[in-house]
Amino acid sequence: MATYVIGDLQGCYDVLQRLLQRISYDPTQDKLWFCGDLIARGPQSLQCLQFVKSLGDNAVCVLGNHDLHFIACYYGFNSVKAKDLLQPLLDSPQLDELVQWLRHLPLLYISPDQRYLLVHAGLAPQWSLNDAITLTNEVQQLLRDDPQTLLGVMYGNQPDSFAAGLSAEQRWRFTVNSCTRMRFCREDGTLELKEKGHPRYQTALVPWYEFWRNKPHPELFFGHWAALNGYSPVADIHALDTGCVWGNALTAYCIETQQRYSVAGL
């Protein structure tokens, strides 16, 4: 039995199947963990959702920013962009079913033994691990029970820091931004949500994971940041997005063997 953590699919179903062949995936024994952003930009978002959903308990997946944006579009809070290539998903008779399934995915997953943590983008500098668990549980429950309340206030870059006294709406937005959009922070730990490049070019900004280098946390896996090309300098924080949809690669990390496997992307 093996557990493989896989970077952002973004609609690259055929690439995923090649990766599963590469790792000799056994659906009767192995587990697949997905870092979010199952959909958008690639040509096969529908197939990606259908496949991951079909895995049932053999798969774990957290929500990414593209996944949340699509849910918001479904409920009328935003518009699907043509470049996201989502028309086959919109036209699918399974659309309602797939959206309801997406709504029940978590923002944050911690393994039952508390040794491993999965998130799409990262954890806010101001949080403790308990903060992250409490706040993501609140957002996850709202998305399941009352999605329109959450989705109606989800968009925006403020607040850029977590502190006592935030309203419920501000707390939800900050949590979503931290877990699904964040890459860099300013030196004071406030979120900077526009920059997407490599840290070597941003000397005034700090990658979010540097704030967690010396904090207690499980071994952590994240996607979202293609410019890192799968590299994080923090030993127990693993970057998995290797830019599959941008012509680079799709990567899986085996937890048990600590080995990486990659196949060429689009």
- Cβ within 8 Å of residue 115, ≥6 positions away: 218, 219
Q: Report the domain count for the chain.
A: 1
Distance from C-alpha of 2 to C-alpha of 113, rounded to nearest angstrom? 15
Q: In this structure, are residues 192 and 181 in contact, taking their beta carbons and an 8 Å threshold?
A: no
Name the residue with tokens 């997946």: 61
- CA 73 to chain centroid, in Å, comes to 18
- Cβ within 8 Å of residue 32, ≥6 positions away: 3, 4, 6, 25, 52, 55, 58, 59, 60
**Mean pLDDT per 10-residue segment, the chain (266 residues):** 97 98 96 98 98 97 98 96 95 98 98 97 97 98 98 97 95 98 97 95 94 96 98 97 97 98 95
pLDDT the model gives residue 164: 87
Range of the domain at 69: 3-264
Distance from C-alpha of 134 to C-alpha of 73, rounded to nearest angstrom? 27
Give the CATH number for residue 126. 3.60.21.10
